[in-house]
Structure 1
Amino acid sequence: MKTLVVFDFDYTVVNDNSDTWVIRCLPDQSLPDSLTQSYQKGQWTAYMGRVMSYIGDQAVSPASVRSVMETIPFTDGMTELLTFISEHKSTIDCIVISDSNTIFIDWILQAAGVQAAVDHVFTNPARFDERGYMEVQRHHLHDCTRCPVNLCKRKVLEVYLAERRAERGVEYRCTFYVGDGGNDLCPTSCLRGSDVVMPRKGFTLEKLLVKLKDNDLVSLKARVVAWSSGSEILHELKTSVSA
């Protein structure tokens, strides 16, 4: 019986938005208004494809993009938390479900030396083409009306849990879901009473969970524990693992 930790990435593992952080690699660190105004709600992946195409047009090399992405700050206490997880892989599994992309997340985790903590990253696939332009694709197709068109985190989590159960007979004694944003609300609906949802204090997920509780529109079975640093998550995790 292992413990599963599920992380969002932006404003959770790292203390900024990785997709907007990349703009720092541009000479003037800004995008033209015509590009920023092209974003349509729920179509973030398509928008980021245009952003990365523009960055390629400015002759910014993949190496330059990587050097900028590796400077994004981690949220306080997160590297210590991930280090603890990497040292306890016999009892703790860890996945990331994010609306960022595979390249950014891999670069950032590797630069911090904490990639060993994460067993799998579920995010939008990205690659550099023959010109050195980064292309981003949708993670998957889904029919959830509450989530962005490219990613339903609940579906990802449900499939992961089912596959672990079918392939290796793994049943997690406790799942910790750690996030901050509106797209982190949907996966909390598949958590059990033995699980813990951990919203970042002062961010959207915490506010949505408060409204959920007040309106009692949907039954949330998991315990809610808000956090402001990785050390608070680590305390909860250590308490659960040692119980």
Structure 2
Amino acid sequence: MNCFGSPPDKDALPARSRRPANNMAANTATPPSDRRFLIFFDFDETIVDESSDDVVVQAAPGQNLPNWLKDTYRPGHYNEYMQRVLAYLGEKGVTESAIRSVIEKIPASPGMLALFQFLRHRPPQDFEVVLVSDANTFFIESWLRRVGARQLFVRIFTNPATFDKDGRLVLRPFHSHSCPRCPDNMCKQVVVRDYVLRRTQERGRPFQRVFYVGDGANDFCPSLILGPRDIAFARRDYPMHRLITEIHEARPGEFKAVTVPWTSGEDVVERLRKHAEEK
């Protein structure tokens, strides 16, 4: 499958995107400084239509985890839980190829491959594309390379995951932070804020607009720092959309960005095309 050809409960444990030392996978070159727009993407239930952490369980014996392992989950410590899940898979002899196989089969969200194709075919000075996710490097790199989309992203910020000498996938937290809204291993607001600041300094000027495409509660946090010219693309009826709606109702004017709900990547394309054609 290649995306540039023909596209072939909030507190519930399985729903990763419904829970609220730095590492990143990145192209090493500094992005060009002439791009007009900066766009961030989440991964789970945004780029792909499922949670990759849920899907990897399909590689486990019987495609299920034992109850004793599920019972070790603590709210706010999902990364630690997934470290134990991946360690369990390794102990059961689940191979790198088996994990990659189930991850590569995750379907893209509706219209997402068309959105990637749109971004790829825009003039090079239009969009700088960044991924920020609470998944991990192995899942994300595997999936993006499978659909031919890896080169679209100039930076990928996520939890590092590498195979050790025994063939086990070892997951580590992305960073530590003090944000009370976010899981202890990643605050996307910190990532987005720092990246925008650094790129503004490198470029000598700000981007015309910043876009953020997400779905989950941990995508709400970075959207809080977007300005009135920026756009928060929130997947319709998912936690990010509900939280934005709630803040609009409870504290009008506090949320600055324009909110554009989406059900398909085509909804995002329509709005991006409009801004890209502005002079």
Could you list the per-position Cα deviations for residues 151-179 of structure 1 after superposition, in whole angstroms to 9, with x for gaps in the alignment? Answer: 11111001101111222325211111111
Is 1:142 the counterpart of 2:177? The answer is yes
User: C-alpha displacement at 1:27, in angstroms?
Assistant: 3.0
- Which secondary structure does the structure 1 equivalent of 2:135 belong to? strand
Does the Cα contact within 8 Å between 2:200 and 2:207 map onto a contact in 1?
Answer: no
Aligned to 1:77: 111
User: C-alpha displacement at 1:15, in angstroms?
Assistant: 0.2
Aligned-partner residue type, residue 27 of structure 1: P
Percent same amino acid among aligned pairs?
A: 35
Q: 1:218 to 1:35 in 2, by over 3 A?
A: farther
Aligned to 1:226: 261
Does the Cα contact within 8 Å between 1:192 and 1:222 map onto a contact in 2?
Answer: yes
For residue 100 of structure 1, the aligned residue among 112, 135, 159 is 135
Aligned to 2:64: 30
Runs of 4+, deviation exceeding 6 Å: none
How many correspondences in the alignment?
243
Q: TM-score, normalised by structure 2?
A: 0.85
For residue 11 of structure 1, the aligned residue among 33, 45, 54 is 45
Q: TM-score, normalised by structure 1?
A: 0.97
Aligned-partner residue type, residue 204 of structure 1: P
Partner Cα distance (2:118, 2:160) in 1: 28
For residue 41 of structure 1, the aligned residue among 63, 72, 75 is 75
Is 1:160 the counterpart of 2:190? The answer is no
For residue 158 of structure 2, the aligned residue among 107, 123, 136 is 123
- Which secondary structure does the structure 2 equivalent of 1:99 belong to? strand
Aligned-partner residue type, residue 118 of structure 1: F
Could you list the per-position Cα deviations for residues 63-108 of structure 1 after superposition, in whole angstroms to 9, with x for gaps in the alignment? Answer: 1111111000100110111122122332101111111001100000
Q: 1:111 to 1:79 in 2, by over 3 A?
A: same
- Which secondary structure does the structure 1 equivalent of 2:195 belong to? helix
Aligned-partner residue type, residue 162 of structure 2: R
Partner Cα distance (2:214, 2:189) in 1: 13
Aligned-partner residue type, residue 106 of structure 2: I
Partner Cα distance (2:214, 2:78) in 1: 18
- Which secondary structure does the structure 2 equivalent of 1:190 belong to? coil
Could you list the per-position Cα deviations for residues 130-164 of structure 1 after superposition, in whole angstroms to 9, with x for gaps in the alignment? Answer: 00101111111111111111111111001101111
Partner Cα distance (2:117, 2:176) in 1: 33
Aligned to 2:24: none
Does the Cα contact within 8 Å between 1:83 and 1:117 map onto a contact in 2?
Answer: no
- Which secondary structure does the structure 2 equivalent of 1:15 belong to? coil
User: C-alpha displacement at 1:218, in angstroms?
Assistant: 6.9
- In structure 1, the gaps of 5 or more residues are none
Partner Cα distance (1:216, 1:29) in 2: 44
Q: 1:224 to 1:106 in 2, by over 3 A?
A: same
- Which secondary structure does the structure 2 equivalent of 1:72 belong to? coil
Aligned-partner residue type, residue 70 of structure 1: E
RMSD: 1.2
Partner Cα distance (2:253, 2:64) in 1: 41
Partner Cα distance (1:27, 1:126) in 2: 21
For residue 68 of structure 1, the aligned residue among 78, 98, 102 is 102
Aligned to 1:183: 218
Aligned-partner residue type, residue 41 of structure 2: F
- Which secondary structure does the structure 2 equivalent of 1:90 belong to? coil
- Which secondary structure does the structure 1 equivalent of 2:266 belong to? helix
Partner Cα distance (1:203, 1:15) in 2: 12
Aligned to 1:132: 167
